Amino acid sequence: MPVADRVLRHAARRPHQVAVSGPGGDLTYAELADRAGRAARHLRDRGAGRGTLVAVGQADPVDLLVAVLAADLAGATPLLCDHTWSEERREQVMAAVPVAARFDAPLPGAGGPPVRHDPAPGDLTWACFSSGSTGRPRAVVRTRASWTGSFPHLDELTGIGPDDVVLIPGPLVSSLYGFAAAHTLAAGATAVVPGRWSPAALAGQLSRATAVHVVPHRLPAVLDALEATGGPLRTAVVGGAALDPGARTRAARAGVRVVSYYGATELSFVAVDADGRGLRSFPGVEIDVRPEPGHALGEVWVRSPWLCEGYLAGAAGPLRRDGDGWTTVGDLAEPYRPGEVLRLRGRGDGAIQTGGATVVPEDVEEVLRKVPGVNDVVVVGMPHPYLGAVVTAVVEEAGEGASRGDGLSRAALEEVARAELDPAQRPRRWYAARSLPRTAAGKPARGLLAAHLATRFADDPESGDPARRSPENGDPVTGGLEIRRLG
């Protein structure tokens, strides 16, 4: 984590201030600094130092924070791994992204003099996997300055300071929640890190939280708990999918100010809405929407100090750069001029924004094609009022005639999905088609299929019955396409 030096300063100035509160209890800044320092000596004894990549996957969020702070003190780059991965998946990821060492258990301490590392803005100090890393491990790495340089701007926008208690109710391997923890510790505040979302625990967590970081679809539950039990919450920092304006209005009635933002794991902050009047460029960010000829929408390109360095081990991904310092991940927006509101309209590459995560369809398709009875598969996003979209799979059945699809079942597909896909990647809606619509080049027509699903199953996407839809006449985009729900 790129804030170890700040933790040490807070430990010297306010040693008894609670730094982190996790499932196992609290650590003061003095205790956190001591544990991180001793763990850093252990890493140095194991050969970790400047420029080395260290994989950390502790299940306890406080242990994970200690590990990444220790890596930062030692000058190494921590690569955050999901502790819920199976051993087979861990080995797959480690093979794709070579690391100097891997630590899944809490780091032990070692005696000796303090580890000395002179932090520099260009140090590579954080790496994590973007959503949709299965099959194609894609780890984003960033410099110290690309995060810490934005902290003063977020301080001003949110008002978060050393006297705050900040609830971070999600896994720190997510860049959204990882950044929240980094910013909280840099501010000298208290980070409440349960490690996972738990509606049952919200009331207790909110009894002392003055700020919270959440994705949009979690905000209503936070407000429900706040209305039921009360609490000092005054600020909600919301990132991910688009925020329902009604949620902002409801939060205001509860005395909670909402600061929402748009960004990406690769881009960090791009635009922010601090007053409900729409997204405008985050401080230091230039935005350029580049429309394609004949299209109403354009790709969002960004130039800013907050961009990542790229993907580890040369992995491919949605991140693209031009020769003038501009970067994009393929998000689409309406025409834009500097100073105006940025109006986002999804992803041009088919990536699915679901509950604050970005899922790359090709990664899911690659896994599902291995299931017996599957000839081909297309994964798209179907609109959802709270999640933004839900991952939806349409499977082309193998075989001919009456035997077609005899061996295909939702249970078999879901079994493979649970074994090989991250939770955000797993389809929530499943359909089967005798034949997928295809482009002139023979590739599945993802856009046409998404339009067909949105039209035909919009009213009841979970129980689409072709007999009730009168499909014999087809629809204007896909003709006589036959789709049935997999149950």
Q: What are phi and psi of 125, to 5 degrees?
A: -125, 10
Q: Answer yes or no: are the C-beta atoms of 129 and 60 closer than 8 Å.
A: no
280 DSSP β-pair partners: 272
Secondary element (H or E) of residue 451: helix 446-456
Q: Answer yes or no: are the C-beta atoms of 9 and 124 closer than 8 Å.
A: no
The pLDDT of residue 427 is above 60: yes
> Rounded mean pLDDT of 1-27?
95
**Lowest model confidence (mean pLDDT) among 136-150, 211-225, 384-398, 470-484:** 470-484
Give residue 1's identity as a one-letter amino acid code: M
- Model pLDDT for residues 169-202, shown as the tens digit of each residue: 999 999 999 999 999 999 999 999 999 999 999 9
pLDDT class of 132 with cuts at 50, 70, 90: very low
Distance, in Å, from the CA atom of 487 to the CA atom of 484, rounded to the nearest integer, reads 9
Residue 466, helix vs strand vs coil: helix
% of the chain exceeding 70 in pLDDT: 90
User: What domains can you pick out in the chain, each with its CATH number?
Assistant: 4-345 (3.40.50.12780), 360-485 (3.30.300.30)
Sorted by sequence, the CB contacts under 8 Å of residue 322 that are 6+ apart come out as: 301
Residue 268 gets the label, from left (phi > 0), alpha (psi -120 to 50) or beta, of left
pLDDT in the model for residue 407: 58
Q: What angle do CA 41, 35, 22 make, to 5 degrees?
A: 140
pLDDT class of 4 with cuts at 50, 70, 90: very high
Mean pLDDT of the chain: 87
The pLDDT of residue 296 is above 90: no
**CA proximity to 148, closest of 114, 110, 122:** 122
Q: Answer yes or no: are the C-beta atoms of 314 and 157 closer than 8 Å.
A: no
- Model pLDDT for residues 15-35, shown as the tens digit of each residue: 999 999 999 999 999 999 999
Distance, in Å, from the CA atom of 179 to the CA atom of 306, rounded to the nearest integer, reads 12
- CA max distance for the chain: 78
CA-to-CA separations, 45 to 34, 41, 400, in angstroms, rounded? 17, 6, 62
The pLDDT of residue 60 is above 90: yes
Distance, in Å, from the CA atom of 253 to the CA atom of 234, rounded to the nearest integer, reads 11
Give residue 142's identity as a one-letter amino acid code: R
Distance, in Å, from the CA atom of 124 to the CA atom of 100, rounded to the nearest integer, reads 15
Distance, in Å, from the CA atom of 359 to the CA atom of 341, rounded to the nearest integer, reads 26
Residue 456, helix vs strand vs coil: helix
What token pair was written down for 155? 């301080």
Cα 35 to chain centroid, rounded: 28
**CA proximity to 237, closest of 151, 319, 360:** 151
> Rounded mean pLDDT of 42-51?
91
pLDDT in the model for residue 166: 98
Q: Residue with structure tokens 């992995």?
A: 315
> Rounded mean pLDDT of 348-370?
81
Q: Residue with structure tokens 């960033």?
A: 142
Distance, in Å, from the CA atom of 371 to the CA atom of 405, rounded to the nearest integer, reads 12
- As a three-state string, the secondary structure of 253-286 is HCCCEEEEEEEECCCEEEEEECCCCCEEECCCCE
pLDDT class of 435 with cuts at 50, 70, 90: confident
Rg, the chain, Cα only: 23
Q: Answer yes or no: are the C-beta atoms of 219 and 236 closer than 8 Å.
A: yes
Q: What angle do CA 378, 384, 389 make, to 5 degrees?
A: 40
Give residue 141's identity as a one-letter amino acid code: V
Strand intervals (E) in 398-479: 429-433
pLDDT class of 294 with cuts at 50, 70, 90: confident
Distance, in Å, from the CA atom of 91 to the CA atom of 101, rounded to the nearest integer, reads 13
> Rounded mean pLDDT of 54-72?
97
Residue 363 gets the label, from left (phi > 0), alpha (psi -120 to 50) or beta, of alpha
